[in-house]
């Protein structure tokens, strides 16, 4: 059976670094972890094994348009029906779209990612193309599908009483037959009754519900004007949409941070994408202090390359700058690393763990800490979060399947 010897491994849901004489796997699961002493630093140059990474928010469908939205606002670049993204994706054939998505997933595997939650546009057909790209590459695409076209016009949304029309109900059925759940751009894109209909439909089959909240001021302002409540409050209300996953929270105030944490639901932050669009950065440290369960995402591929090591680096530095000089150990790097590993478990369950132990899926990444710029680290977790480049990633495995392996690594 395949085996790595004398490595350092991040063990269990707390990602404890340990010496590991033998790490072995067979078929799709881990068969042996010989747990040795704690390894906060490296006594000798070593390979380091970490769990395979989960990207909590992507749009890989626009991988065909890298940097296409440079210089555009959120609305100009990304909103239906006339935003740059929708105009340009409409010009590509299904085969071209699938090829671009496959290329994007291969880049994600090359940079340590084994699964992602994708907010897939273009309705059921868009979901089907991503499903095919996922099967081709071995990366798990957890697809949260959105309507191809908005079911309501502005006047109907302002009136706020309409149910989903029959055509939208039919599209919802078609999407949920392929996808793992539902997503939309904002809570302002559907009526309150439509959100309740979608909650009831997805709850019946145990499928996921996700939504972008508080990305820019309009999200909260329009929601307040129409409903007397902000978009986050409506998204989390168990009698409205009852979302499992909230994305962004860039503008979350103290009350909204508390609401998010007390909901027990999961939030995915995307600080590099927010920065690229000239938006405020999410309150990472305040959310962590409040006890919110957080993921990290890279958002649209046209905005940011989906490399989670880059997102970890940016996020940890951002969180440190929000923690102030008086709290020099806050937040510890392991809290940031959990955002792409073990924090996924409560949201997805099943065979998604985000951590390594005997009997669990063999989903892991091998890092080259024999390299001169890494081997002398005095803080292994800080170096994983802040110093690993693409060339340092020697292999990515998901459920025992090799998604990427460098010719330099043999076992
Ligand atoms: Zn999104």
pTM above 0.95, yes or no: yes
Rounded distance from Cα 133 to ligand 1 centre (Å)? 19
Domain layout of the chain by residue ranges: 3-52+354-405, 53-348
CATH 3.20.20.140 fits 53-348, yes or no: yes
Q: Where on the phi/psi map is residue 341: left (φ > 0), alpha (ψ -120 to 50), or beta?
A: alpha
DSSP element (H, E) containing 307: none
**Spatial CA neighbour of 172 closest among 154, 158, 190, 188:** 190
Distance 212 CA to ligand 1 centre (A): 6
> Reduced to 3 states, what is the DSSP secondary structure of residue 115?
strand
Nearest to 47 by CA among 386, 371, 268: 371
Helices (H), 192-323: 192-205, 217-227, 231-236, 254-263, 271-276, 284-290, 308-323
Residue 141 CB contacts under 8 Å (≥ 6 apart), including other chains:
60, 105, 115, 116, 118, 130, 131, 133, 134
Per-residue pLDDT of 70-79, as tens digits, reads 888 888 998 8
Residue 269 near residue 27 (C-beta atoms within 8 A): no
Architecture of the CATH domain 3-52+354-405: Roll (2.30)
pLDDT at 43: 86
273 alpha carbon – ligand 1 mean position (Å) = 10
Residues of the chain falling short of pLDDT 50: none
Q: Could you tell me the distance, in angstroms and rounded to a whole number, from the CA of residue 59 to the centre of ligand 1? A: 6
> What pLDDT was estimated at residue 79?
86
pLDDT reported for residue 290: 98
Q: Which of 277, 278, 301 is nearest to 65 (CA)?
A: 301
């Amino acid at each position: 059976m395949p085996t790595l010897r004398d490595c350092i491994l991040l063990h269990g849901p707390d990602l404890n670094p340990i010496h590991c004489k033998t790490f072995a796997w067979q078929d799709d699961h881990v068969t042996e972890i010989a747990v040795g002493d704690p390894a906060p630093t490296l006594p000798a140059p070593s390979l380091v094994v970490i769990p395979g990474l989960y990207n909590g928010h992507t749009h890989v469908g626009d991988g065909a348009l890298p940097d296409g939205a440079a210089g555009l606002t959120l609305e100009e670049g990304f909103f239906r029906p006339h935003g740059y993204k929708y105009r340009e994706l409409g010009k590509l054939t299904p085969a071209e779209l699938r090829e671009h998505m496959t290329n994007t997933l291969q880049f994600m595997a090359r940079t340590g990612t084994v699964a992602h939650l994708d907010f897939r546009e273009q309705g059921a057909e868009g979901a089907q193309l991503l499903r095919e790209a996922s099967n081709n590459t071995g990366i798990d695409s957890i697809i949260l599908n959105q309507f191809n076209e908005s079911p309501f016009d502005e006047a109907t949304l302002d009136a706020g009483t309409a149910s989903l029309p029959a055509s939208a109900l039919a599209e919802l059925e078609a999407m949920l037959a392929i996808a793992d759940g539902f997503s939309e751009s904002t809570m302002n894109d559907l009526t309150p009754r439509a959100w309740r209909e979608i909650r009831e439909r997805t709850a019946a089959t145990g499928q996921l519900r996700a939504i972008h909240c508080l990305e820019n001021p309009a999200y909260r302002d329009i929601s307040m004007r129409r409903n007397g409540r902000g978009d986050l409050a409506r998204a989390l209300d168990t009698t409205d949409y009852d979302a499992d996953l909230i994305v962004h929270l860039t503008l979350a105030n103290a009350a909204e941070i508390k609401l998010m944490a007390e909901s027990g639901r999961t939030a995915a932050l995307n600080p590099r994408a927010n920065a690229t669009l000239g938006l405020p950065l999410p309150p990472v440290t305040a959310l962590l202090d409040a006890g919110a369960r957080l993921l990290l995402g890279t958002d649209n591929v046209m905005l940011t390359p989906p490399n989670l090591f880059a997102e970890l680096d940016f996020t940890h530095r951002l969180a440190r700058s929000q923690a102030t000089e008086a709290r020099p150990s806050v937040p510890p790097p392991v809290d940031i690393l959990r955002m792409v590993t073990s924090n996924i478990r409560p949201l997805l369950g099943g065979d998604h763990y985000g951590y390594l132990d005997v009997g669990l899926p063999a989903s892991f990444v091998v890092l080259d800490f024999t390299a001169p710029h890494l081997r002398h680290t005095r803080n292994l977790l800080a170096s994983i979060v802040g110093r690993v480049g693409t060339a340092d990633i020697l292999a990515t495995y998901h459920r025992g399947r090799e998604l990427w392996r460098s010719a330099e690594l043999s076992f």
